[in-house]
Structure 1
Amino acid sequence: MDSKLEIFSESEDSDEPTLDLDFDMLKQLASSRLDRHCVKTCRLTRGFNNEIHLLQFDNGPDCIARLPRDSTHPVAKLACEVATMKYIAQNTKIKVPEVYDWDCTTHNIIKSPYIFMERLSGQHLYRIWDDLSIENKKCVLNQIINILFEIWTKCQFNEIGCLYINNDQSEPIREKSSYLLSRVLTPYMSFQVGPIVSPLCYIEGRDIIPSFTGPFKSSREWFDALIQKEKSFFETHGVQNLNNEMNTILADAEERTKKLVKQLALLQSKLSENNPFESIDLLPFTLIHNDFDAQNILVERSSVDNDIKIIGIIDWEFSHTGTLWELCDYPIWIQEIEYEPFEFISDKELQRNQENQGLRVHFRNEVIKIFGEKGGQLLDMKENDRRIERLETMFLVVHKFSMLESFLKCFIDHY
């Protein structure tokens, strides 16, 4: 039988290409590295950055294979993801998938980087959230706050960057791991904060612009590097970028590019004079999950009292160290939604918004109980001063010329 027949998909876009993998080779690799006979593999799901495959064996539990879809990601991306999961497992009681084996290179029989990791049980929180009672929702929020507090108290650092595993040769990136050796050697690992690994630095042509990626001493320093990177990119490639976007007359493209670069320089000057990060750039820094959303929280429902318990946190891709400001935030699915003026809002949406407002009040009160008044002050600062949020919107996503142009104008005019 053709091994590719073992692949299947769920509710995915059939137009999106899948990885060109030899599934017999994947089974052979898993058998060799995990010292068990892999008898079946199938694709569970496909995200923007990765494909997730289920590996089944003739004995023992199933395993997950996480395979990057985009070859433009640097070797360090996968290495930092592994380091973060191992750091969390070693230093906290938060359940994350155990990493069995990984290879950041293509120098293996499947010709792809990979992570072999534990398959955690449970449901994704987003699948059941809407059906939960208010009390169950509050219970889940309380558990999230406790998880955030454990990260805050047990994952503390002096710099902003990504985590890397130290090794005996002091190499910057650990490219391979042996599952068999790791079962013999001491499980203790040491870690260091190194450069940030972010698509902001290598997609949409940004990889051709030399830029400092850390580690950084402050959020202010990190954002200054992001602004400088965009400034350098558009100085060199702005005209071409704008023409590719909307086929503008050359003279107009040159004029708009000069203006955009001047606005970026003006923004740097404004932030130097009035630093919005000053009150939040306080040591120690902590560990920030880059996508702490309901799809990455696994839960189980008790058959006895119907309570919901968080049993795992997954997808630590692009996680980094950062400020308590970044950590202490309302979960995205209960955050306030900003509507356009005169936008129609259905009764169902109004009801959900009212419910979320009550859940935010509960979340803030519980944050104060666990983190102290500082936690509540940070949540209030996010509501009252949107400068950092606006800067994140501008520079934590790579925008097209016209979009960045619009964001910059609004920010500079307003602030």
Structure 2
Amino acid sequence: MTPTPSHQPSLAFGLRWESDLFGPVPAWAVTPNIATIEALSRQHLGADNLSVEFLAGGAFNRVYLITVSSNTGMDQKSYVFRATLPVEPFYKTASEVATLQLLRQHTSLPVPEVFAYDCTTKNELGFEWTIMEKIPGVCLGEVWPDLSLEGKKIVVERLGQFSKELREKCRFNAIGSLYQRTELSEGDLKVSVATDYNDFVIGPIVNSFIFAGKRKPLIERDRGPYRSDRAYLLALMKVELEDKKLLLKLTFEKRAAGIQKAKHESLESDEDDDLAEDVPEIQETIQQLLEILPSIFPEDMQTEEFVLRHHDLNHSNVMVDHTTLEITGIIDWECITTVPAWEDTYPKMLLGEDMEEQPEPLAFGDTDEFRIERWEKWENTKLRKIFDQAAGSGANNDKDACDKRGFREQLDLLELSTRMVKNWIIEYEKRKREQGC
């Protein structure tokens, strides 16, 4: 299951990149064969009497429900088969499997058990795949709107306890992704960072900022692991600069050839032409970010201890018992990495502005969007306090942490609006002057 550099060019089978308002989006150029999925499931689950049906599609995956019946037909077991697009060949699947295994072995977090997987595309399906446990319960999003504030507190308090356990038991000395030591190539092992768990190491980061898009695999990318948050951010900015440099080169070649379609597969859309027009502004904005980076990430005060964080903890990825509200599982651990403590904040569903004054309670069946928004804002303010009490994470909301998170967020906005990024820089510099810094 260990890749070699020579494998890389052929691993884009079935993948194409499309564009939307927020950037490149992966899409399936080839649909996985369901008969092959059935055959793989029978082989690895040791069951003949099973059925497979399409369940859902995500950003990078197609998910199938496997139902295994007993010989009597009275009992059934369910599993999940997930086929994965080769957005970051080998590393995305290998790191997610390793993360799940470490969590199951060393924490109490309820995460799926992995029964079989293939990190390569050298199999009958032609895609990387995973067979894992189907978590019981219902998606939190199905019950959340109807829960009382007290019911929501039960769930949020438990999530806070899990967050605290992650920060206490999953502390590391580098930013990157987790891997089983035995699965990494010799080259990756040379730069990997050891952990307190001997079977696992921190290796190349699996981060969509670094792999998303047609051009990213063609450029030189420093994928870590990184020994400081400063090194991590510098690597992200370098990837952005190299990506835009390649875009300009390909655009020039396209125009010089006088054709409507690029001769390179990495440049095929009008969106690329439009983005190329913005490249000088993006480069200038990155330079401005580089100029303020030392004031936010001083060399003599770099973060050097990191935690494992589920950055996409939302209503869709938390499973609960709809009666007891006990959390039965936390799913979707792909692209989960170690991060600086300042990046470890609230679950996505709790983010937002504070609202301390309680608005008028909602009447049953109220559909007024303004009243609903105010009520949810007030509820989330209360729930964040519950989360902080359980997780002990209030320290991550000091001004330095907010500035660091703000800086990181600007990198995601570069292609969307350099004006927004420059306004953030202006506000930051103004605040520092007022503070006499």
Per the normalisation by structure 2, the TM-score is 0.73
What's 2:352 paired with? 336
Distance 1:223 1:296 in 2: 27
Q: Does 1:394 align with 2:435?
A: no
Q: Using the TM superposition, give the Cα deviation of residue 240 of structure 1 relative to its aligned residue in structure 2, in angstroms.
A: 5.9
Q: Deviations over 1:131-183 (max 9, x none)?
A: 00110111111001001011111111111100001118865789xxxxxxxxx
Say if 2:425 is the partner of 1:406.
no
- The Cα shift of 1:46 comes to 1.0
Match of 2:153 in 1: 138
Residues 247, 198 of structure 1: alpha-carbon distance in 2 compared, 3 angstrom cutoff: closer
- Matched with 1:196 is 205
Alignment-derived partner of residue 138 in structure 2: 123
Instruction: Answer whether contact 1:142 1:363 (CA < 8 A) is retained.
Output: no
Instruction: Call closer, same or farther: CA 1:66–1:115 in 2, change over 3 Å.
Output: same
TM-superposed CA distance for 1:278, in Å, is: 7.9
Q: Find the residue that maps to 1:106 and give its secondary structure.
A: coil
Query: What is the one-letter code of the residue matched to 2:199?
Result: S
The 1:22/1:267 distance shift into structure 2, 3 A limit, reads: closer
Q: Does 1:21 align with 2:32?
A: yes
Q: CA deviation at 1:386?
A: 4.8
The answer to whether structure 1 residue 227 and structure 2 residue 237 are counterparts is yes
- 5 Å-filtered alignment, 1:4-403, equals 20-59=31-70, 61-68=77-84, 70-167=85-182, 171=186, 190-204=199-213, 205-238=215-248, 244-245=270-271, 253=277, 257-272=279-294, 274-276=295-297, 282-302=303-323, 307-327=324-344, 329-336=345-352, 347-364=368-385, 366-368=387-389, 370-371=391-392, 375-381=393-399, 386-396=402-412, 400=415, 403=416
More divergent stretch after superposition (290-299 vs 261-270): 261-270
Structure 1 residues 168, 393: CA separation in 2 closer, same or farther (over 3 Å shift)? closer
Contact 1:231 1:265 survives alignment (8 Å): no
Alpha-carbon contact 1:88-1:96 (below 8 Å) kept: yes
How far the C-alpha of 1:361 sits from its partner, in A, is: 3.5
Instruction: Report sequence identity in percent.
Output: 25
1:177 corresponds in structure 2 to none
- Report the 3-state secondary structure (helix = DSSP H, G, I; strand = E; otherwise coil) of the residue aligned with 2:54: strand
Q: Distance in 2 between matches of 1:279 and 1:122?
A: 48
Letter matched to residue 62 of structure 1: S
Distance 1:168 1:25 in 2: 25
The one-letter code sitting in structure 2 at the alignment partner of 1:213 is: R
Q: 1:228 to 1:17 in 2, by over 3 A?
A: closer
Q: CA deviation at 1:71?
A: 3.3
**What amino acid is the match of 2:343?**
E
- Contact 1:235–1:261 (8 Å) recurs in 2: no
**Cα deviation digits, residues 306-365 of structure 1 (max 9, x gap):** x411111000010000122222x2332232269xxxxxxx84443443343344234325
Q: 1:171 to 1:89 in 2, by over 3 A?
A: farther
- Which deviations, in whole Å up to 9, do the C-alpha atoms of 1:16-53 show, x marking residues without a partner? 86853332222221111222225210001111211110
**Residues 308 and 337, structure 2, Cα contact 8 Å, conserved in 1:** yes
5+ residue gaps, structure 1, are: 1-15, 175-187, 339-345
Indicate conservation of the 8 Å contact 2:311/2:347, yes or no. no
Q: CA deviation at 1:197?
A: 1.2
Instruction: Check conservation: 2:69, 2:77, Cα contact below 8 A.
Output: no
Partners in 2 of 1:17 and 1:168 — Cα distance? 27
Structure 2: distance between partners of 1:247 and 1:32: 47
**Tell me, what secondary structure is at the counterpart of 2:239?**
helix
Equivalent residues of 1:104, 1:114 under 8 A apart: yes
Q: State how far apart, in whole Å, the 2-side matches of 1:280 and 1:130 are.
A: 43
TM-score where L is the length of structure 1: 0.77
Structure 1 CA distance, aligned partners of 2:272 and 2:184?
50
Query: What amino acid does structure 2 have at the position aligned with 1:292?
Result: L
Q: What is the DSSP-based 3-state SS (H/G/I as helix, E as strand, rest coil) of the residue aligned with 1:62?
A: strand
CA distance in 1, matches of 2:233, 2:425: 16
What is the letter of the counterpart of residue 320 of structure 2?
Answer: V
> Could you say what secondary structure the match of 1:414 adopts?
helix
Given the superposition, is the C-alpha separation of residues 28 and 367 from structure 1 closer, same or farther in structure 2, using an over 3 Å criterion?
same
Unpaired stretches in structure 2, ≥5 consecutive residues: 1-26, 71-75, 190-196, 256-269, 355-366, 429-437
1:225 is matched by which residue type in structure 2? A
Cα pair distance change 1:193/1:277, threshold 3 Å:
farther
Contact kept, 8 Å, 1:164 with 1:173, in 2: the verdict is no
Measured in 2, the distance between the counterparts of 1:260 and 1:206 equals 17
Aligned equivalents of 2:36, 2:390: Cα separation in 1? 52
Partner SS for 1:298 = strand
What is the CA RMSD across the aligned residues, in angstroms? 3.2
Report the secondary structure of 2:316's partner residue: helix
Q: Is the 8 A contact 2:342 2:405 kept in 1?
A: no
Q: State the 1:220 CA deviation.
A: 1.8
Q: Is the 8 A contact 1:277 1:388 kept in 2?
A: no
